[in-house]
């Protein structure tokens, strides 16, 4: 019997792919990466919204319940008991408009700072621009912000108030708030991935910051010798701008706009630089 011999097929050649950061990497490359992969950010944001309210009885209505209940409590304590003046604006409208902006900003900061730790499984298994992860809360929180905004408009109509036509400028203010929170998240998210103390301490400092920001009281309630400090608070400017375009409250001064722009640009640039510098250590330390 003749046994036919068969040649063993050669094993396919394996190719090793090494991913390195560009030597000439700069800010415009980061912006291009984020814009090119914006679909990934939006998909992750939708996933975040679905997971947040999955198996809950009232679903996304929680986005309305939290600011409404908080407004009711603040109205009782600070309007009926403390008698804080609001320059003729009904206190529920005044505090609700401030809460919407504050809760959007604070949620972006807290969730962006914990985004790398929360998505540890994705980071260690799939390669994609990790700059997108701190950006996701700016999108998911914006959806809830817009839903709660409908409640604010309904409250204003119930009080006989009509939203200002300048409400069309609201997306610009939301963009500035999102960029400000994103910049802070870019700084804190890699630090939180390496040192978990950041995630533990952050909610405490955010809570303190709310009382240092004119959410439950107007800036005019602050003694004149301290009002310049509020001009240095970018979130105070965002809240005052939101109230100005929605309920025709006084506009902040020119100094406040310049400080806000400096904070947004400076923190975004600092955040991108910090993130890029600490990014190589994230996978090993997370």
For the stretch 153-187, pLDDT in tens is 999 999 999 888 888 899 999 999 999 999 999 99
Check pLDDT > 70 for residue 47: yes
Residue 242: count other Cβ atoms within 10 Å of its Cβ: 25
pLDDT at 171: 93
Over residues 194-216, the mean pLDDT reads 91
Distance CA(88)–CA(239), nearest Å, equals 17
Picking from 174, 181, 116, the residue whose alpha carbon sits closest to that of residue 149 is 174
Contacts of 79 (CB under 8 A, 6+ apart): 86, 91, 92
Q: What are phi and psi of 11, to 5 degrees?
A: -70, 140
Element housing 272 (H / E): helix 254-285
Grouping H, G, I as helix, E, B as strand and the rest as coil, residue 62 is helix
- Mean pLDDT across the chain: 85
pLDDT higher at 183 or 66: 183
**How far is residue 59's CA from residue 62's CA, in Å, rounded to a whole number?**
6
Contact status, residue 182 vs residue 133, Cβ threshold 8 Å: no
Q: Which of 73-87, 139-153, 252-266 has the weakest average pLDDT?
A: 73-87
C-alpha span between 96 and 141 (Å, rounded): 16
Q: Report residue 37's pLDDT band, with 50, 70 and 90 as the boundaries.
A: confident
| pLDDT for residue 221 is more than 60 | yes
Of the listed ranges 45-49, 53-57, 122-126, the one predicted with least confidence:
53-57
Predicted structure pTM score: 0.85
């Amino acid at each position: 019997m003749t046994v036919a011999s068969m040649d063993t097929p050669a094993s396919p050649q394996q190719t090793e792919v090494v991913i390195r950061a560009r030597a000439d990497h700069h800010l415009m490359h980061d912006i291009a990466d984020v814009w090119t992969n914006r679909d990934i950010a939006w998909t992750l944001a939708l996933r975040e919204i679905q997971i947040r309210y999955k198996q809950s009885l009232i679903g996304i209505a929680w986005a309305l319940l939290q600011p409404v209940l908080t407004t009711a409590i603040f109205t009782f304590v600070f309007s009926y008991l403390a008698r804080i003046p609001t320059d003729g604006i009904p206190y529920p409208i005044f505090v609700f408009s401030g809460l919407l902006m504050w809760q959007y900003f604070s949620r972006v900061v807290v969730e962006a700072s914990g985004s790398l730790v929360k998505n540890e499984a994705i980071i260690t298994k799939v390669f994609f621009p990790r700059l997108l992860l701190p950006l996701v809360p700016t999108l998911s929180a914006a959806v809830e912000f817009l839903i709660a905004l409908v409640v604010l408009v309904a409250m204003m109509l119930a009080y006989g108030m009509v939203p200002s036509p300048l409400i069309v400028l609201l997306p610009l203010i939301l963009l500035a708030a999102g960029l400000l929170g994103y910049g802070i998240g870019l700084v804190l998210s890699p630090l939180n991935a390496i040192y978990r103390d950041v995630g533990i301490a952050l909610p405490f400092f955010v809570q303190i910051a709310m009382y240092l920001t004119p959410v439950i009281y107007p800036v005019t309630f602050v003694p004149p010798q301290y009002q310049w400090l509020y001009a240095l608070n970018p979130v105070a400017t965002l809240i005052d701008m939101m109230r100005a375009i929605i309920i025709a409250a006084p506009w902040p001064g020119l100094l406040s706009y310049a400080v806000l722009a400096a904070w947004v640009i400076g923190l975004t640039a600092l955040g991108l630089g910090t993130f890029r510098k600490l990014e190589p250590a994230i996978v090993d330390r997370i």
